[in-house]
Amino acid sequence: MFSSLLTLPPLSNDRGHSEPRTSPGKAWGKRHSTPAISRYALVNALEQKQMQAWFQPKVCLHTQRLVAVEVLARWCHPEQGVVTPSVFLPWCRAYGLDKALLLHMLHEALVFQTRWRRQGVTLPVAINLPTYLLDDPDLAYTLQQTVLAHQGAAADITFELLETSDTATPQALYAGANRLVACGFGLAMDDFGVNYSSIQRLMLVPFSELKLDRSLVQGISAAPHQADYVRAVIEAGKQRDLIVTAEGVEQFADARLLRQAGCDYAQGYLYSTPLPAIELAQWMHRHKMV
């Protein structure tokens, strides 16, 4: 089925990622701009725990219950306020700090998972992982040891491979992904469906989850051609025993169509924006989602 999808063009070149990208040199925010963010500022933000994990709920389309959360980084700057990843991620990449940020987000997620377990809640998390980091043969071991140090469970953690970068070779991608799977982690194909490399990567890597890009999902109930394409993708995912998650869901009609098409989970503003941990707890209590 996926081989047949290779003949279909992407519906859009707008990736519409939940964390919009930019390049170094853009503004910090609407009111403040700067030509650069220094490496010192980013390292200091990590050391001072200004980089915080926020959580976006992932909801089962069939039961409307909370099934997991995606971990998204926010820089709580003492002067600029909450800084979104579109501002600082390009600089993390430029300074070689992607791995440090990944480990920091994993640590944050594990701390909160421990707190949730004490409250009787087991809540899996998904964490973004820049794909080029799989070039490091020790990455999987480092992540595994971090989880064990917190007495966590790899089965409750899924790493979402981002398409903003790639490994040096397909062999490195395959080997790195398999090392993560061997450690017990889940793997998700993020932003699926907007270019051909998504399909080719999905056929190469042992993913457990397929995440439909928001550009495929938004307005699907009013776009028959788009709906047919997404149905085909969902069917193909099911044939490979993948969990299928829709990102960027904002309309009830879109969620209904996705549910009818066999999509498993959804996340987006229809359910919740990304939330700091304390607000996530309030959201869970208010919606009785667990």
* Alpha carbons 48 and 200: distance in angstroms, whole number: 40
pLDDT digits (tens, 9 = 90+) for 155-165: 999 999 987 78
Q: Looking at the predicted structure, is the pLDDT value of residue 279 above 50? A: yes
Give the residue with greater pLDDT, 31 vs 207: 207
Average pLDDT over residues 173-188: 97
Q: Residue 53: what pLDDT? A: 97
CA dihedral 139, 143, 146, 150 (to 10 degrees): -170
Site of tokens 């399909």: 199
Mean pLDDT of the chain: 87
User: b/e map of 158-182 (b: 16 or more CB within 10 Å)?
Assistant: bbbbbbbebbeeeebbbebbebbbe
- Cα 6 from Cα 2, distance rounded (Å): 7
Distances (CA, A) of 72 to 55, 116, 149, 274: 6, 18, 22, 7
3-state secondary structure of 76: strand
- What pLDDT is recorded for position 191? 85
User: Per DSSP, which regions of the chain are E strands?
Assistant: 51-60, 66-77, 81-83, 125-130, 157-162, 186-192, 209-212, 243-246, 265-266
CA distances (Å), origin 122, targets 107, 155, 260: 16, 11, 28
92: number of Cβ within 10 Å: 23
> What's the pLDDT score for residue 204?
86
Query: How far is 112 from 263, CA to CA, in rounded Å?
Result: 28
More confident residue, 92 or 20: 92
User: In the predicted model, is pLDDT for residue 197 greater than 80?
Assistant: no
Report residue 8's pLDDT band, with 50, 70 and 90 as the boundaries. Answer: very low
pLDDT at residue 36 in the model:
86
| pLDDT above 60 (res 12) | no
Closest CA to 54 of 224, 280, 290, 276: 276
> pLDDT tier at 24 (50, 70, 90 boundaries)?
low
Nearest to 209 by CA among 286, 280, 267: 267
Task: Note the pLDDT of residue 45.
Answer: 96
Predicted TM-score (pTM) of the model is 0.87
What span, in angstroms and rounded, lies between the C-alpha atoms of 202 and 198?
6
